[in-house]
């Protein structure tokens, strides 16, 4: 074998060895552990009552304005009937006072009193109509029915939610990073997200970085104590439809850093 060929062979071997060593020494990124959460929309009646009809089930997709449930409305109907009768009497009193005032037999004071009573009666009817209309719950946003708390036949207390809706845009990722990593993060940064059996191209955009630490140690910090400081980070996923609330996830600040193998 010639000297030039030997030189080339050793060069190739050296390059191969260096590449292998570099691969062995390359630091794998363990990522930051977190989980999926969502800001739920809770739909509740203004007044207590018994659920008479439930139009949805958990997991159903709803659009804005869809009827979700109904609560018994006997008391509200009775209140509306009573106030409607009062309004009819107030209207008659006003018509009579107005007629008498036109002929000079009535006084302006009586007419003013009749007008005031008529306006109060009208307002009470509108209030009763609103109370009656709100015995049915409608979807304020589009999303997925996440959980049902009261079912048909059950009594729901005043202002307690009958169910919750999860709009896709309200899903978020929460994870914690050490104090030393904070300078690497900024609002609007995109991070890589992985989870069990999830797509490989999941990303999220940071929208919140806590200004105070969790698990704060004593006021006088040692170097070891500073390493224990962690800060809450929240990010919006690019594909919320493939994630589930409570699902554990891993977050990587650098998408090109090799991911550590997990057993």
Residues 181 and 239 in one domain: yes
Residue 10 lies in a domain: no
- Average pLDDT score over residue span 94-120: 86
Residues 172 and 245 in one domain: yes
Query: Residue 21 above 50 pLDDT?
Result: no
- Output the domain CATH number for residue 97: 1.10.287
Per-residue model confidence (pLDDT) at position 22: 43
Strands 163-166 vs 41-43: parallel, antiparallel or unpaired = antiparallel
Strands 136-138 vs 190-194: parallel, antiparallel or unpaired = unpaired
Residue 178 lies in a domain: yes
Average pLDDT, the chain: 82
Residue 260 lies in a domain: no
Residues 34 and 97 in one domain: no
Identify the band that residue 256 occupies on the pLDDT scale cut at 50, 70 and 90: low
- Average pLDDT score over residue span 28-53: 90
Cα 69 from chain centroid (whole Å): 20
Dump pLDDT digits (tens) for 183-211: 888 999 999 998 888 877 889 999 999 98
The mean-pLDDT minimum among 57-66, 96-105, 142-151 falls in 96-105
Using DSSP's 3-state secondary structure scheme, residue 12 falls into: helix
Residues 130 and 178 in one domain: no
Query: Residue 179 above 70 pLDDT?
Result: yes
In which element (H, E) is residue 62 found?
strand 61-62
Residues 121 and 79 in one domain: yes
Per-residue model confidence (pLDDT) at position 81: 97
Pull the structure tokens for residue 14. Answer: 């050296």
Residue 51 lies in a domain: no
Residue 148 lies in a domain: no
- Average pLDDT score over residue span 240-244: 85
Domain that holds residue 103: 73-134
Q: Where are the alpha helices (DSSP H) in the chain?
A: 3-25, 74-103, 108-133, 223-226
Residue 41: DSSP 8-state: E
CA distance 5 to 13: 12
Per-residue model confidence (pLDDT) at position 169: 85
Pull the structure tokens for residue 42. Answer: 């809770």
Task: Give me the numbers of helices (H) and strands (E) for the chain, helices first please.
Answer: 4, 14
Per-residue model confidence (pLDDT) at position 27: 55
Residue 239 lies in a domain: yes
- Average pLDDT score over residue span 120-135: 96
Query: Residue 34 above 80 pLDDT?
Result: yes
- Output the domain CATH number for residue 225: 2.40.30.170
Contact status, residue 254 vs residue 203, Cβ threshold 8 Å: no
The mean-pLDDT minimum among 68-77, 129-138, 167-176, 223-232 falls in 223-232
Residues 117 and 182 in one domain: no
Burial class (CB in 10 A: 0-12, 13-18, 19+), 143: buried
- pTM exceeding 0.75: no
Domain count, the chain: 2
Per-residue model confidence (pLDDT) at position 3: 40
CA distance 217 to 168: 37
């Amino acid at each position: 074998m010639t000297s030039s060929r030997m030189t080339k062979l050793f060069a190739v071997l050296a390059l191969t060895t260096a590449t292998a060593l570099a691969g062995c020494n390359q630091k794998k990124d363990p990522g930051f552990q977190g989980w999926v959460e969502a800001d739920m929309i809770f739909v509740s009646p203004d007044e207590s009552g018994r659920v008479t009809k439930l139009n949805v089930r958990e997991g159903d997709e709803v659009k804005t304005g869809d009827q979700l449930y109904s609560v018994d409305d006997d008391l509200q109907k009775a209140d509306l009937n009573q106030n409607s009768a009062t309004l009819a009497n107030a209207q008659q009193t006003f018509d009579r006072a107005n007629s008498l005032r036109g002929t000079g037999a009535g006084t302006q004071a009586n007419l003013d009193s009749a007008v005031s009573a008529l306006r109060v009666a009208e307002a009470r009817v509108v209030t009763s109509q609103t109370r009656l209309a709100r015995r049915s719950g409608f979807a304020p946003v589009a999303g997925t029915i996440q959980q049902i708390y009261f079912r048909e036949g059950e009594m729901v207390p005043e202002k307690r939610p009958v169910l919750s809706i999860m709009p896709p845009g309200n899903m978020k990722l929460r994870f914690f990073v050490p104090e030393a990593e904070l300078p690497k993060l900024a609002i609007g940064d995109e991070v890589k997200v992985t989870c069990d059996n999830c797509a490989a191209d999941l990303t999220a955009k940071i929208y919140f970085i806590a200004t105070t630490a969790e698990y704060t140690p004593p006021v006088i910090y040692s170097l070891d104590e500073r390493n224990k400081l962690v800060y809450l980070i929240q990010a919006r996923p690019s594909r919320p439809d493939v994630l589930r609330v409570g699902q554990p996830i891993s977050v990587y600040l650098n998408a090109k850093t090799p991911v550590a193998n997990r057993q």
